Structure formats: C-alpha cells, structure tokens
Chains A and B, each alone.
Chain A
Amino acid sequence: MTADLDYLESQSIYILREAYNRIDKLALLWSIGKDSNVLLWLCRKAFFGRVPFPVVQLDTAMELQEVYDFRDRIAGEWDLDLRVEQCPPEADMDQTLPPLTRAAARKTEGLKNLLRTGKYQGIMVGIRRDEQATRAKERVFSPRSLEGDWDVKDQPAEFWDHYKTRFDEGTHVRIHPLLHWTELDIWRYSKREGIPIVPLYFAKDGKRYRSLGEKNITFPVDSTAGTIDEIIAELVVTRIPERAGRAMDNEAEDSFERLRSSGYM
C-alpha cells in the first residue's frame, strides 16, 4: 500500500510546478544525497522527463569520491544542466563559529556568492521538516534577503497551498518541495521508483552513512543495513536521530540555528 507516497509525490509535483510557473531564474541545489536525488526524480515526473532548470552543486572539494562518481554518472544519464560552484575556503569563514560549524558554513558562503551573481531568484532545496528542529519551522516558499538571511520571526502566511511567489528586488526565495516528507518516506519512495542511490548509504563493515556530508565533518553510523529494505526496517525501530553523524549539529546548542539564520540550507 503506497497511497501515502502518491500523496507526497503529488504534493511535491504541485510545489515544483508552482515554482517553475511563478519564479523566473530557478535552480535546484543538488547535494547528491538521497533527498536531492528524490527531488531531481520528482522534477522529471513533474516536467515529463526533463529537469527544466540548472542543477547546482556547491562544491567544497571535500565530498567522498563515491559522491563525485555518482554525480558525473547521473548528470550524464539524466541530461542535467549541471553547474559546479566552488565554495570559498574555511579561512574566510566567521571565526566566531565553532570549528566544525565553520567548515559547514563554507556552503553558505558558496551559495551567497552564487546569489550575488544575480543569476537565480529561486533556489530549490531538498530539506525536510523531520530532519532538524529549525527546519521544521520552514515554509515551502521561504523568502530570503540577498545575503540569504532567514527571518524566522517574520515568515509569510502560507496556507491552502498558496505560496509567497512575489518578491522585492534583491531578495530571493528558497523552495522546499520535500518539506513534508520523512526520512522513511524518502527510502520507501526511492525503493518504489528505483531511484539511483550513492552506495555509501549501504552498510559496509558494520557502518553506513545515514546522512551524507563532507568527509571532514560527517561520519558513518553503526548499521548492518545493506539494502533499501534493511534500511527501511532499521528506520522503523531506530531512536537515533538522522543527523547524528553530522558533527556540526551537536557542537553547540545553537550551531545549526546560527548556520541556518545566516543562510545555510
């Protein structure tokens, strides 16, 4: 029974089509993880086989090799308009941030650099509410200043699938088509649709990546799940949070909130 997946899929397609119709100069942020792979897949469904906007990877040159291999293969097979953007070095980051959070902030700066070019008004990101408490507060269409700042205290009204799609000059919008999905949904949908997956998610020698990030700040968790079915079974019973292997989240109580209010995904 996968009627609930049909509902999730339909809702995401609706959001993608709204974004494509209402926002000029869209791009999709591809982290090459499981969520943004599902997002790309949904784009192909929404637009009948093609992804009609550029796909941007914010590269820190710190991803695992398997991630780069996967990127190059899929970009070719799916005929993506891939744009790789290099992120500035860690030395340029806000030095008041804790060190691991600082490393993560490189992507924020890479994104800001991209937005400063004025090439994009809408950035689609595959975040989900269940990943992290501050992401749970997100809107589907989330307005940002040019610098990417998120004014969490004054977010627009968003109800009955009416999204904020009009903006002042110099601002941009983050679009979150997967906000209502859960980690389990992502895996069940990937299985149903046969969506390609970076092999790092599957257990090797008792460890697997549950959430993929740069190799200096992301670590595999204990697991024996070697197939999608085993991952699904693991998630149904686990009480370990998804981002447990993301070092920066837990560095300080507000690490992630600080990252996000200054523009992190």
Chain B
Amino acid sequence: MDIRNELNGQLRIVIVGHVDHGKSTLIGRLLNDTGSLPDGKVEQVHEMSRKRGMPFEWAFVMDALQAERDQGITIDTTQIHFKTEQRPYVIIDAPGHTEFLKNMVTGASQADAALLVIDAAEGALEQSRRHAFLLHLLGVRQVAVAVNKMDRVDFDQYRFEAVSQEIRAYLAELGLHTSTVIPIAARHGDNIVSRSDKAPWYEGPTVVEALDAFRPQQAPTELPLRFPLQDVYKPDDRRILAGRIESGRLRVGDTLRFSPTGATATVVSIEGWNHSQPIVAAQAGQSIGITLDKRIFAERGHVAHHEEGAPHVTHRLGVRAFWLTSEPLAVGKTYTLKITTGEHRVTVESITAVIDIEDLSSTPAKAVHRNEVAEVVLRSRSPIAVDLASALSRTGRGVLIDGHDVVGGCIVVEVDEGPTASANTTEVSHAVTADERNAANGHKGGVLWLTGLSGAGKSTLAMALERALFDRGWQVFVLDGDNVRNGLNAGLGFSAEDRAENIRRVAETAKLFADAGVLVIASLISPLQADRARARAIGGERFHEVYVAADLATCESRDPKGLYRRARAGEIPDFTGVSAPYEAPESAELTIDTGTVTPVEALGELLDYVDGAFGRNALKRGRV
C-alpha cells in the first residue's frame, strides 16, 4: 500500500448492539481477516483462551482488560485501528450492557458511521433499539446492520428477511437511512471480508464493502459561522480570543457579532505560531486565535458569528435529553447546561414526554430515569446563544452537569425566543429592565396579597404555593404577617395605627421584591379595607388580592395557634373576628373558600390563577 493511500481520510466506525450479539467477535474477525493484527496477537489470544479452557475467543483481541476476559463482556469503549484497501479505520467498540450506556455514548459520539450487530436468532432486542435511537440522537447518520450468528439459524433466508425488515422499519421511523443489512457469521468469517458461500441468496455487500461505502463526516464549512470562545490570552500586547470554529468560515476584515452580549468588532488578524505566512482565513474544525479592532467585553462561552445567520438567544429551550445517571432528572431541579464552551444554570421547567424506545411512543412523566430519553423544557437565568440541532448540530447540543459529573446529554429541538433581551442591542445598557428580569425568570414579578381571618389557612396556602412555584423554577418569597413582626416590624403593636403601619411596611417591602422580579406572597390578616387599598396603591397593577375566606366558626374550630381560645378568654385584646372587625374584600381578584375546598384544591386554584396572572402567558400578553 502506498503512503498516499494511507493518508486518505480515516473513518471512525462505532460497532453497537445488544450484549452477546457478537460485536467483539466481529471486530476480532475483521482485524484478523484484513491482516490488521500485529504479529503474535493471534497466538496470544490462543493462549488466553486455552488458559480459560475456552475455544478460540476472537473477542479477546479487543477485550484487553483482565476483568473483561474473565467475565466475557466488554466493559468500556475502546478503539482500535485497522485498514482495508480503501482507507484506514478506527473501530470504536461500544459495550452493549444497559448499565454501561455512558460508555456507549462516549464511544458512539465520536463516530462517522455505525455498524449495528443483531443476533439472527434473537432479533433487535431493547438495547439494539436503544443504541439505534442514541446513534440518531448523537448525530450518527450512516448505519449498516449486520445480522450475526447466521450459522445458528442455518443461514435461513426467511429468518434473515424477518430480522432485516423489523430493524429497517425501526430505523426508518427514526429517520436513519440504512441501505445495507448483511447476513454474517462473525465467528467463522462469513461475509466479513470474503463473500460466504453459505448464503447464496444474498447479493449485497460484505461488511468491509459496506464500511468502504461510508463517507467521512465533513466539517460544516458551508453553514453559518459559529466561533465559540474558549479563552482569552494576553501573551504580550496582543489580546487573543481563542477557540475552535464549529461551523462556517471566518476571514480577516470580517465584522463579528458576539452573542449573547451583542457586541461587535472587526477581525484584525488570525494569530498563529510557526506559520511562515500570515493567516487570512480559517474554517470549521480549526482551533484558532483572533485579534479585534476594539476592546469589547468577550469571554469564554460567548459565540462569535456574522450579522447574517445569527444564533438564537433565549432563556427557554426544548431539548431531547438522554439520562445517564441513577439520580433521576426531575421538574424543578437545577443543572448546568454546557453548550460548546458556554455554561448556564438551568432549571427543568417541565418534562413534556418520556419516549418509549421500543415503539417510539411518548408518555408524560414527572421524572426521567437512567437510560431514558425524554423531551424536556429547560429555563436559564442567563441568556443562552444556541442553535436548533437540526440546523447546526454542533452548537445545538450540550451536556447536563450535576455537581462534578456529566449526567446527561441533549439536543435542542425548540427555542423560545420570547420577550428576551434583544441580541441586537448594540449599546451595553447598565440598567436591567423589568422586561429583562421577567424574561430571565420566565414570569412577572408581583404581589399576591392573601387576606383573611386568622385560621383561614393563609400561611399554609402561602407556604404550599411558594414550594410549588419554587419547584417550577420561579423566583418566589413569602412575606408572612407573623414572621415580619419579629424583624422588620418588631417595634409595632396591634393598635389600629400600628396595624396600618405594619401593612404599609409590608406593602413597600413587597413592592421592592416585585421590582426585583420576585413574586411575593404576602400573607397578612389585613382586616381593614382602607389598609389593603393603600397596599394596592403601593403595589400598583402588579398587586393582586386573594381573599382566603372561611367563616369564623370554621377558623375558630381550627384555631391552629390557640389564639381564638385565648381571645375568647380575654387574654388577647382587639382580636380580629372576636373583638375587632374584619372587613371582607369587595373586589378581590380571587376568592378561595377554604371551608368548602380541600387544601389541595385550594392550591390548585391558586396555582392556576398565578400562572395566568404572572406566568409565561402573562409575559406574552403584554410587558409589565
């Protein structure tokens, strides 16, 4: 083989499939039959097999680890090089065991193409389907299928056709194109390198011919420019922005815009070291460094692009995620989403559906467990520059990190542009507007004022609402009448004057929280119409009054703090409902009668109301 041929593009192949369907054996055979094994390896494997009292085991060629040889399984992904007459290959062997999914993902994500191995007798079992599904998710688009152990079914054509049709249908549903399904017997070398005479009915390619028909993945140089920054270096008086171009091209003189900040600058130079000529252009796949004509704020995670074909900038994305860890992904949990070099704290807003990999159906769920794939909505506090995976795969996918570990991966399938800080703002504004806060939080700030008798259930309801909203990723805080009296209003008593001042202070504090973007739940008896009217005046249109109604008898029978008993005994003067008036609201935005609905129903009503008044839809309706 001449050297030039050697330099033809190397192709990375991942071999996947259910455990025991014969992946390692196929690889061992492939290496041997193409003359790619080093001298002495076959003898070594003979010796290893003999020591364990087994017939010659091809899998030992790949399963280099002691534990793997002893257990007869492949534990981790590994890589091995071989060559056909066409070109060199790297084989990535990926384990089939369910619990080793993270290793399979690690292996398969690096591949240009995949070979899916299926046992002729068993057909496409769960893992075969899961692997096919993941290949699609990981961006591997070229797949060939080897139906192995054909010797065990006497090279029966009908059995082969049945398995072949089943897997073709499944792959087609995923949108994976497969031209090739090959009947093989890896142990005996049938249809690996040389054509088998045991399946005369088969006219398609051998495994090697199928591999040679794959095309190497091309760096996406013709797509819009994405240059995510990795770092900023100052080796001397230069300020070099370093990173790798993920797609498109960049030239000296280009005007770049950086998302999500919106800053723009012109490329003065493409820096290199040990280059004889100045570099004037660079393209997808290259790790480069550039200098700019002006000193803008740019750092790791920012994405440079051209004016045309900009990425989306969003706080909310729909992703298709695969989960790799035992602790389930759940609504309300917060993770770090890393897309290229950008990291964002995201909260799981909802799980739209968990996808059944057997029949590709969707079912709603509250959590995503290890090895599951699901459609999930993520919300970020910081704006994310991102693409749809279908348009630009490299900047449209990322990993989810929990603590120190990568716990899942995802591709972006939907971007909510929403009312967000515009990526097209050139001036860096120092003021954060209410709109921006709302966009970051995914809801409006405001004041939900819960009024009602002692024992009506205000505090219980407030705390339950706070929990529920927090779990959805809301910025929410309860200002409880009793609690503020211990701090902010510690000096105030229960005279009419002090009560009015108490309410005024709480209303002012609530307003500040609301300005900061928080939904404040104020829970106070606030018995007088006039005091509540003043609170409403302070809060403005963001003030929503909720009357937590329950008749006096009900409240008194509950008497959670024993106050009614003490008031009746004359120990507490001016006790609302007993010895002081309660003026029921006449125009509350919402009334909840806790005497007639259960606490769960009450919370449900309140949540619906809050969602409508302050939630995402309220954001869409109009800006605050």
Contacts and interface: CB of A to CB of B under 8 A. Distances in A.
Interface string A155-193: 111111010101110000000000000101000000001
Interface stretch (A29-37, A114-122, A127-135, A206-214): A127-135
Contacts of A193: 274
A13 B398 CA distance: 20
B266 interface: no
Interface residues of A, number: 55
A184 B404 contact: no
Contacts of A7: 285
A82 interface: no
B80 to A, nearest CB: 6
Contacts of A167: 404
A257 B66 contact: yes
A6 B235 contact: no
Interface in A243-265: 253-254, 257
A7 B285 CA distance: 7
Contacts of A159: 105-106, 108-110, 138, 399, 409
A95 interface: no
B287 interface: yes
Q: What is the size category of the interface that chain B forms with chain A?
A: 35 or more
> Mostly helix, strand, loop or mixed at chain B's interface?
mixed
B285 A160 contact: no
B287 A162 contact: no
A87 to B, nearest CB: 26
A7 B399 CA distance: 23
A160 B109 contact: yes
B300 interface: yes
B75 interface: yes
Nearest to A163: B406
B309 interface: no
A227 to B, nearest CB: 14
Nearest to A185: B10
Contacts of A199: none
Contacts of A4: 7, 9-10
Nearest to A238: B38
B39 interface: yes
A153 B338 contact: no
A1 B77 CA distance: 31
B240 A48 contact: yes
Contacts of A152: 65, 75-76
Interface stretch (A17-25, A53-61, A62-70, A105-113): A17-25
Given A1-B4, A153-B75, A159-B110, A168 B105 contact: no
B300 A44 contact: no
Contacts of A160: 109, 394, 397-399, 409
Interface of A: 1-4, 6-7, 9-11, 13-14, 17-18, 20-21, 44-50, 129-130, 133-134, 136-137, 139, 152-153, 155-160, 162, 164, 166-168, 182, 184, 193, 232-233, 236-237, 239-241, 253-254, 257
Interface of B: 1, 3-4, 6-7, 9-10, 35, 37-40, 48, 62, 64-67, 75-81, 102-103, 105-106, 108-110, 138, 230-231, 233, 235, 238, 240, 242-244, 271-274, 285-287, 289, 300, 324, 338, 394, 397-399, 401, 403-406, 409
What 7 A-B pairs come out closest when comparing CB atoms? Answer: A133-B64, A159-B109, A13-B287, A157-B102, A166-B404, A241-B38, A136-B78
25 contacts: A1-B7, A7-B285, A13-B244, A21-B230, A45-B272, A48-B238, A136-B64, A136-B80, A139-B106, A152-B75, A157-B324, A159-B105, A159-B106, A159-B108, A162-B398, A164-B404, A168-B404, A182-B81, A184-B6, A193-B274, A236-B1, A236-B3, A236-B6, A240-B38, A257-B65
